[in-house]
Amino acid sequence: MSRLNRFRIVGSLLLGVLLLMGASDNSSRIDRLGHQMMCMCSCSQILMECNHVGCTYSDTMRNELNAGVDAGKSDSEVLAMFVEKYGTTVLAAPTHSGFDRVAWLLPYIALIVGLGGVAFVVRAWHKRRVPATVAATSGLSTADLSRLREQARKETDL
C-alpha cells in the first residue's frame, strides 16, 4: 500500500471518528438544551421529559431544537430562538443576566450570611463566657451532688 493510500485511509478514519463524535456531541447538546427548556403545553415538565399522550407542543419543539442545532446555531442562539417564539417562560431556569441574576445570587449570599452569622455568634458568646470557677466539693451535700450528676447526665447524653 502506498504512503498516499495509507494517509487517505487514516484520514478517512479520522474524519469518520470526528463525524461520529460530532453526531454524539449534537445528540448530547440536544439533550442538554432540551433539559434547559420547558414544554409549553402547560404540563410544567422539562421539554425532554414531557410524556403527555397527544401533547401538541413537545414533538414540534423537539423538532425545532434538532433543526436549530443541525443548522449550526450556538447554545445561546438556540435558546434565544425559543424565547423569541415561546416567551421567557420557555427557559427552565432564570438566566444569568439582569434581574434574573438575583435569583442565583441570593441563595449563596444567604448561605454566607447564615453560616458566617452562626460562626460569629459562637465566637462572640465564647469570648463573653465567664470562666467557670472550680467549687470546693467538700462542702457539697449529697443532694447537691445528685443534682449535679443529673445535670451532667442531661447535658452529656445526646
Partner 1 sequence: MPQIGSFVLLLALALSGYSFLFGAVALFRRDSLSAVITETARRAGIASFVAVLIASAILVTAAFQNNFSIAYIYHHSNIDLPIPYKFATLWSGQEGSLLFWSLLLSGYGFVLRLRHKTDERLFAHASVIIAAVQVFFLLLLTFAARPFATTPGELPLDGAGLNPLLQYPEMVIHPPMLYLGYVGFTVPFAFALGALIMKYPGDKWIHITRRWTMVTWGLLSCGIALGAHWAYYVLGWGGYWGWDPVEVASLLPWLTGTAFLHSVMMQEKRGMLKTWNVWLIFVTFGLCIFGTFLTRSGVVNSVHAFAQSSIGTWFVIFLAIIAATCIFFYVYNRSHLRTEHHLESLVSRESSFLFNNVLFLLICFVALWGTLFPVLSEWIQGHKITVGPPFFNSVTVPFALLLLLLTAVGPLLAWRKTSLGSLKRNFLWPTVGAIAVGILLIATPPSWGSVFGMRPWTDVAYFYSLIAAMLAALVIFTVAAEFLRGGRVISGHTGRGLVSSMMLLGHRNTRRYGGYVVHIGMALIFIGVLGTPLNRTAEKEMGFGDKIDIGPYSLVSRSFTQDETPNYSSSIAILDVYRGGKLITTLYPESRFFTATQQPQHVPSVYSPLREDLYVVFEGQNQDTGRPIIKAHLNPLVSWLWIGVLVMLFGTVLALFPNAPVPVRAVAAAPVTAGFHAPTAPVGAD
Query: Is 43 exposed, middle or buried (CB count within 10 Å of its CB: 0-12, 13-18, 19+)?
Result: middle
* CB nearer partner 1, residue 72 or residue 131: 131
The CA–CA distances, whole Å, from 15 to 4, 10, 19, 22, 155 equal: 16, 9, 6, 10, 71
Residue 158 Cβ vs partner 1, minimum distance, rounded to whole Å: 4
DSSP-assigned letters across all residues of 108-153: HHHHHHHHHHHHHHHHHHHHHPPPPP---GGG--HHHHHHHHHHHH
Residue 12 or 146: which CB sits closer to partner 1?
146
Residues that bind partner 1 (CB under 8 A): 35-36, 38, 42-46, 49-51, 53-54, 87-94, 98-100, 103-104, 106-108, 110-111, 114-115, 117-119, 121-123, 125-126, 128-129, 134-135, 137-138, 140, 142, 145-146, 148-149, 152-158
Judged by CB, which is closer to partner 1: 9, or 122? 122
Estimate to the nearest angstrom the gap between the alpha carbon of 101 and the chain centroid: 15
Q: In the numeric block, which cell numbers belong to residue 142?
A: 449529697
To partner 1, the closest distance from the beta carbon of 68 in angstroms equals 19
Closest approach of partner 1 to the CB of residue 24, in Å: 14
Rank residues 72 and 139 by Cβ distance to partner 1 and give the closer one. 139
CB 78 to partner 1: min, Å: 16
Q: Residue 37: helix, strand or coil by DSSP?
A: strand
